[in-house]
Amino acid sequence: MNKSVKGIIGLCAVLAVLGSGYAVLKLTQPEENANENSSSESSIPEQKSVVLIQDENAEDANGVVKTVDIKNATDELHVVQKTPATDDAAATYTFDGYQDVEMKTSVIGTLVNNANGMTSADVIEENCTDFAKFGLDSPEVTVDIEYETGTEYTLLIGNEAPTGNVTYVKLEGGNTVYTVNNSTLANYSKTFMDFVDTTILKNPDEQPIINTLKIEREDMDYDILLEYVEKEDAYRGGTSASHIMVEPVESYLGVERSEKVVTGMFGLSAEGIYSVHCEESDIAEAGLENPFCTVEMDCDDGNDYKLLFSESFTDSEYGKCCYAMIDGGNVIFIVSTENAVWTTVQPVDIISSMFIASYVWDISDLKLSANGKEYSFEISPVDAENTPDSPKAEDFNTTLNGEKFDSERYRKFYSFIISGNAEDLAIDEEIPDSEPLAELEYTDSYDKKKRKFTFYEYSPMTAIIAVDGKSKFFIAKSYVETLIENAEKLNTDEDFAETWK
């Protein structure tokens, strides 16, 4: 007998022993375990997915839906094509009679797309005779679907199943009850207003320059007018805000503080809808016939917009709101006062606290008068033809009252001047009938404008600033007093005070 045969016989003997051991183990294993496994597997019924709706007259059943008509507890919704299907794009949809209203077309599209090719989660009962137990005897929601080929279906939507996440449905004329996922059916129960686009003014693909923005409001005796300021690359003064306030006073704007007021009309979104295809009676009831607030925006692309706001009110669902509409529009929106910033903004909310904002080396002359003394500076570049982009004190010649003066010391003095922060606007305040505390004049070499700031005592703690003869700002009186003290140090070696509070 050769080695191969002996090996085969030995392997068979081992397998026989192992097999008998395995048989013993199987015979001694508790029977209840086997029963449990069998019971667990058989207790999970196999779910049946069935395509309920498809265009049987179209190739591959991929038809194009022509209309969808929905009746639910609150509305009747009639979906029609807005744009037909093309080789490159699917059809889009809107509601019949509302082609002139901005709608949430993507959400309306779900009323079509969720119906076309709808598949059941399970088959619940065939040859059903008692539809009442499923809420299908007189369903709250019915959906009529018509394809371009003429294929039609009516879907009846009943109660939500006890297991949750699915709802009972059937096709009209059929006697089989199915379940369909709630997420597929949810939008068929929505109200008409749920589908109206809540964006009041859409963001353009490329935002235009806003030339002017004007706010008129019943609770203000003046208008707020903001204007675009075109700045050349060489300009270093002012703030980085693209606009300035020209009414009720001329002032620089704070960038972050003013941004929403200036550009916020684009992309403005509402909390809800008050009226669609609004009539004169709707406009009057919403308080927009004589609006509380009007915002007008003129853009460089030739478009201008006027937005109307009512007085604010408290809504149980949305909180503090107001009604709003585009002048000449056909939809009245409900907007939170938090977003309707124009209805509450005050000029002081958006201005920059800097009342002087010219760059130090853009000043060609500066004069300060106080306590019967006059301090007159002349500033000129060392080389007018080759002034650096980022100039320093050594690039300029400075004189004080006709005598040569240290340009760096002048820079430090000017740094204190522009550190002054206006605390409030002094709109329509009378200029005090008294001698001014101080007067500051300068010429900006960039825009060639001469500006004059006169400081008057307004109260023991406050001074009022008149700009070019008109009252404009309130400032801490201590700032003016410290400014005068610093001026008296100009011809000394003493350090200038940097704070005044």
In-domain check, residue 270:
yes
Asked whether residue 337 falls in the same domain as residue 433, the answer is: no
Cα–Cα dist 11/8, whole Å = 5
Q: Could you give the strand order of the β-sheet that contains 152-160, starting from the edge strand earlier in sequence?
A: 92-95, 76-83, 65-71, 141-147, 152-160, 166-171, 177-181, 122-125
Query: Does the pLDDT value for residue 188 go beyond 60?
Result: yes
pTM of the model: 0.76
Which residues on neighbouring strands pair with residue 421, listed in sequence order?
354
Query: Which residue, of 315, 350, 385, is where some domain finishes?
Result: 350
Q: Would you say residue 465 lies in a domain?
A: yes
CA distance linking residue 237 with residue 258, whole number of Å? 18
85 lies in the same domain as 189: yes
* 374 and 394 part of one domain: yes
The mean pLDDT value for 205-217 works out to: 94
pLDDT of residue 44: 52
Number of other CB atoms surrounding residue 495 within 10 Å: 9
- Of 250, 259, 225, 258, residue with least CA distance to 473: 250
Q: Choose the weakest-confidence range: 13-17, 120-124, 237-241, 279-283.
A: 13-17
Specify the pLDDT at position 390: 85
Cα separation of 445 and 74, whole Å? Answer: 69
Domain-located, residue 91? yes
Together in a domain, 81 and 131: yes
Through-space distance between the first and last CA atoms of the chain, rounded to whole angstroms: 114
Residues 235, 157: one domain? no
The answer to whether residue 28 is domain-embedded is no
Instruction: Please tell me whether the peptide bond between 139 and the residue prior to it is cis, using omega within 30 degrees of 0.
Output: no
Mean pLDDT (whole number) for 371-394:
90
pLDDT at 237: 57
Domain end: 328, 350, 372, which one? 350
Domain count for the chain: 3
Same domain, 218 and 340: yes
Q: Percent of the chain, pLDDT > 90?
A: 69
Mean pLDDT of 40-67: 78
Shared domain check, 376 and 329: no
Using the 3D structure, point to which of 163, 195, 227 is the last residue of a domain. Answer: 195
Q: How many CB atoms within 10 Å of residue 216? A: 16
For residues 341 and 376, state if they share a domain: no
Q: What is the pLDDT of residue 181?
A: 96
Structural domain span for residue 321: 210-350
Radius of gyration of the chain, Cα coordinates, nearest whole angstrom: 39
Q: Is the pLDDT at 405 greater than 60, yes or no?
A: yes
pLDDT exceeds cutoff 50 at 33:
no
Do 447 and 340 reside in the same domain of the chain? no
23 in a structural domain: no
User: Do 335 and 364 reside in the same domain of the chain?
Assistant: no
Q: Which letter does DSSP use for residue 288 in this model?
A: -
User: Where residue 305 falls among pLDDT bands split at 50, 70, 90?
Assistant: very high
Nearest to 483 by CA among 430, 435, 415, 388: 415
Has residue 34 got a pLDDT over 70?
no
Give the count of beta carbons closer than 10 Å to the beta carbon of residue 494: 11
CB burial class (10 A; 0-12, 13-18, 19+) of residue 325? buried
DSSP per-residue letters across 386-449: S--SS--GGGEEEEETTEEE-HHHHHHHHHHHHT-B--EE-TTPPPPSS--SEEEEEEETTT--
* Distance, CA of 267 to chain centre: 6
Mean pLDDT of 177-186: 96
Looking at the predicted structure, is the pLDDT value of residue 26 above 50? no
184, part of any domain: yes
pLDDT score, position 358:
83
User: Looking at the predicted structure, is the pLDDT value of residue 11 above 90?
Assistant: no
DSSP, residue by residue, 170-212: EETT---EEEEEHHHHGGGG--GGGGB--BSSPPPSSPPPEEE
Residues 6+ apart with CB under 8 A from 265: 200, 201, 295, 297, 305, 307
Does 399 share its domain with 480?
Answer: yes
Please tell me the distance from the alpha carbon of residue 486 to that of residue 81, in angstroms, as a whole number.
Answer: 75
The pLDDT of residue 43 is: 52
The C-alpha atoms of residue 465 and residue 480 are separated, in whole angstroms, by 10
Residue 9's pLDDT is what?
Answer: 36
Query: What are the pLDDT digits (tens) for 318-345?
Result: 999 999 999 999 999 999 999 999 999 9
Is the domain of 475 the same as that of 447?
yes
